[in-house]
Each structure stands twice: as C-alpha cells, then as structure tokens.
Amino acid sequence: MKGKIWMAFLLVLAALGCSALFVFADQTVSSGDQKFFKEAAGGGMLEVELGQMAQQKAQAVSVKDFGMRMVTDHGKANDELKAFAQKKNLQMPTELEHKHRSMVEKLSKLSGPDFDKKYMKMMVKDHVKDVKEFQKATKKVKDADLNAWAAKTLPILEQHLQQAKEVYKGVK
C-alpha cells in the first residue's frame, strides 16, 4: 500500500514538474529580444534623466516642456518595461551605460541657450535612432508582449522625433 501511495506521489510531482517547465518555457525571452529590451530600458532611463536636467537647465520654455514630456512618456514606458521584466524574470538596468553617462556629463556642464541647442540636437539624433530600432523591433521581436509594447511605443517615439525637430529649429 505504501508503495502505491509513494508511486502516486512521484507521478503527481513529475506531472507538476513538467507543467512547471512548460510555464517557465513560455516565460523565456530570446537573446535578441533581451538585447532590445535592455537597450530600450537603458534608453528610457537616459531620456528621463536628461528630461529632468532640461527642466532645470534649459532657457527656452519649449525645451523645458519637451524635457517634461520625456520624463512623463519615457517614465511611463519604463514602468511598462518593469512590469514586463517581472513577468519574464528579467533584470531592468539599474544604472546608465557608459555611453549614456558621458552624454549626461557633457550636458550637465551646459546651461541656457548652449544647453538648449546641444540637448535638442541630441534628442533629434537619439529619436531618429530610436524610431529605426523600434520599427525593426516590431518586425523581429518574437516575444508577443515585448513586440506589442514596441508597436504601442513606436508612434509616441515618432511624435517625440517630430516635436524634437520643431523645438530644435526654434533654438538653433
């Protein structure tokens, strides 16, 4: 009798183990998708930090307003990525990459019209790159949740690019 109970217990454990493996397999994210995730999260962190800086250092109201939009929109996108990361058991970046830190350092030394020009030039260049990356991601990212997020975020980035170009023209 004990042998039959033990065997039933082992069968239940095996069944649970297999189903747990299937659940875990559904949550895995390919290395290419993880790369996009990390770049998007890092870029979002940069946009928020620079947007906060723009609110403090910019002279033109249009630049301050653009900075506020970056904080709001990229902050929301970062929160959405955090939820994705938790669901997929991924780590959000906790600090800026070296290339992003150097951008922050360069801008931190400027203020007023010099800051406005450099920041907006950087925002145009950065958003051109972001739009291309997100367009590519909507075609190549395999994870359904991450792909949907990229597709939802792309039009916002396109709006940012258009606004950045307009503001930049005004501060040149």
Of 112, 94, 82, the C-alpha closest to 49 is 94
DSSP 8-class letter at 95: S
Per domain, the residue ranges of the chain are: 30-171
pTM of the model: 0.82
* Residue given tokens 């065997």 in the structure block: 7
Would you tell me the crossing angle of helices 112-140 and 61-88 to the nearest 10 degrees?
30
The domain covering 30-171 belongs, at the CATH homologous superfamily level, to Ferritin, core subunit, four-helix bundle (1.20.1260.10)
114: closest CA among 56, 169, 171? 171
Looking up tokens 């970046």 gives 93
* pLDDT in single tens digits along all 172 residues of the chain: 555 555 555 555 455 554 443 333 345 899 999 999 999 999 999 999 999 999 999 999 999 999 999 999 999 999 999 999 999 999 999 999 999 999 999 999 999 999 999 999 999 999 999 999 999 999 999 999 999 999 999 999 999 999 999 999 999 7
Other beta carbons within 10 Å of 12: 10
pLDDT for res 137:
97
Look at residue 8 in the predicted model and tell me its pLDDT. Answer: 54
Distance CA 48, CA 75 (A): 6
Burial of 116 (0-12, 13-18, 19+ CB in 10 A): buried
Residue pointed to by tokens 């951008």: 103
- At residue 172, the pLDDT reads 78
pLDDT digit string, tens, across residues 122-158: 999 999 999 999 999 999 999 999 999 999 999 999 9
Tell me, what's the pLDDT at 18?
44
Token representation of residue 156: 């916002």
pLDDT at 28: 83
Rounded to whole angstroms, the Cα distance separating 59 from 71 reads 17
